[in-house]
Structure 1
Amino acid sequence: MKLNLQDIPRVKTISKEDFNKHYYKPQKPVVIEHFIEHWPAFSKWNLEYFKAIAGEKIVSLYDDRPVSCDDGFNAAHAKMPLKEYIYLLQNGSTKYRIFLWNILKEIPELQKDYSYPDLGLKLLKKLPMLFFGGKDSHTFMHYDIDLANIFHCHFAGKKEIILFDQKQTKYLYKIPHSLITREDIDFSNPDFEKWPALKNAKGYKTTLNHGEILYMPEGYWHYMKYKTTGFSMSLRAIPRHPVNLSKAIYNVFVMRHFDNVMRKVKGQKWIDWKNKKAILNTNRSILNT
């Protein structure tokens, strides 16, 4: 048995009017296959280029270890110069990923290599974020703290994507006071005997290739797995829905700080309680469905 996932719609290119009508306003995902081929980044950006232009920059790295009370909210698992990390990627010897690396802040000259899609979203031009990963590395299923609308532009290789909207949260074993589901769920091959509620979840899937853009509506849950070594850039816009905007403000200014305090005060008991509560909450949701 597999997850109930439909393919994300694909278009070769799209107008602002069609994007707003069919995807942005109804908050539905779409893959745009041919939209950034005019960017210098399309042909220029590769691992060797980043090594040459930013090899000495220190980058924060993340892997798939379980959340620990010893770690702060989204705390990095390691740090090293970018050139050393790229060496590990090229040798296929790491599960470390780069997560939310602000290239405009670190390497301002890269801004000349891309432009902002004119599709009706007011993109936050100071927050272009890069993500790198080696073959088979993956994120936990999560949604972004700011519930942003996102254009996720992929470069090099292939990346598997699974999405769920917020209506599916009750089936996903969400961890309380966090933005992730249970970390021991393999969304590539879930165990439905252990996680039966997942059978009720309805989502989307696709595989991104070099130069393709995925539009992720605000607050969508996403799981991403690098089928090959690659990297992506996300361009984001604030939530359009007032409820989601208020949730984003709460997450940024209240939730993450509360969680950090509880980790310090309760230690591993806090993490263990949250993991148990995720199962109890999900089971209760099934009974009330």
Structure 2
Amino acid sequence: MTVLLALLLQVGPAPAIEPISPIPEELQEQRERTRARRNAYVEVLPETSRLAQCLTRTREDPGAAANEAHEWLTAAGGPDRGDAAQCLGVAQARLGQQSQAAGTFLQARDATPPGDHRARALRGGLAGGALLAQGNPAGALELLDVARVDAQAAGEEAILGQIAIDRAIALVALERLEEAETALETARAALPDNVDAWLLSATLSRRHGKLDEAQARIERAAVLDPLDPGVGLEAGVIAAMAGRDDAARKNWRSVIEAAPGSDAAATAQAYLEQLDAP
């Protein structure tokens, strides 16, 4: 599945390092990893249910799954329409059709009984995530705020944490930075072992110039997933800003070794060249 989807803040120049970009790529990439990890709670369903089987199909052949889900949705009535629309939305998202997916997830949410707060939170959160991936943080935040209320009513910490991560990305894109930090606090509390929550928190702290806090947070992310290229990139930037050039080089070289040929490796190589430029 995102991410998910951009932090805009850059506070102060890093030693020998240019700002990553107006919309930093590391968080756009992190949005994709967040979306993939979301499967852990999106698909906790009885294996024999039609929705579970349809969601499995979206991983194997999203195009065929989209056709099957559309036929299911056309014929379905009552709560089944919510299940069918959820599967269709997942298939559309896997096909990169984020605009269509957002509308389909909303259709799924609206077909869900008002008392089923878990499903409404999940489907509303997916709709918000699709809009975020489409580059519409304001629209995403509106949907995510509604989904957050449903997640709280359902007592679903996992869904609440993922919604909080997406809310943080949307809030920073809208330059509402204090609210973004609050959202990430919620994410870390709900998902203390989620590498995305700690990586995004480290990035936000670094962009505020809070390097000690950023270092502590990126170290926690590295414990959770030492091979995550995003963690290595961010650890290197934090080290460079703190004047620890050798540590920065070590982190960026680890990204190149762990993910050769990837976009992250190309970014790491560019950082190394900037750091070592005369």
- TM-score of the aligned structures, taking structure 2 as reference length: 0.21
| Greater share of residues in helix | 2
Structure number with greater CO (CA < 8 Å, separation at least 6) is: 1
- TM-score of the aligned structures, taking structure 1 as reference length: 0.21
